[in-house]
Amino acid sequence: MCFICFIEVTFASPVSKVGAWNDPTGSQIQLLATNAGGSTIFGDVLADQGEFVGVSLPTNQIERALFQFRTTQGVSGFTIDDLTYAVAAAPTPSPIPEPASLLLLGTGVAGFGMLSLYRRHSQQRQRP
């Protein structure tokens, strides 16, 4: 028998969403979500029997989820159903601007071409 029963889920990498259904056990469950440092990010939601309890954050911060059975009487255990979790989508990168190096390369090639023409022209002038 336990008076404080819990199911703990630890993620290999942080997630942004986690939740589950409280099976009809006759009492409430509470979801506690913590980050890598162990600080509670979320923990104020209770779900009655047959209800969904979950949290959704904009970024991947949740390292651990703890579903705690809340009762005043001893029980043999409890179950959750359809554990759900998700990772926040990576932000779309901004478009990469045209590199300035291409412009510099073109200017350099044009400069060498003009220098070559100038040398040819001056060599032709110096010949008698």
List all residues 6 or more positions away from 107 whose beta carbon is below 8 Å from its beta carbon: none
Q: Where are the domains of the chain?
A: 2-86
pLDDT of residue 17 exceeding 90, the answer is: yes
As a CATH number, domain 2-86 is: 2.60.120.260
How high is the pLDDT of residue 63? 94
CA–CA gap between residue 127 and residue 118 (Å, rounded):
15
Given a cut of 70, whether residue 84 has pLDDT beyond it is yes
pLDDT in tens, 18-27: 999 888 766 7
Residue-level pLDDT at 1? 52
pLDDT tens-place string over residues 29-81: 888 899 988 888 887 777 878 888 899 999 999 999 998 887 666 666 678 88
The pTM for the full model equals: 0.63
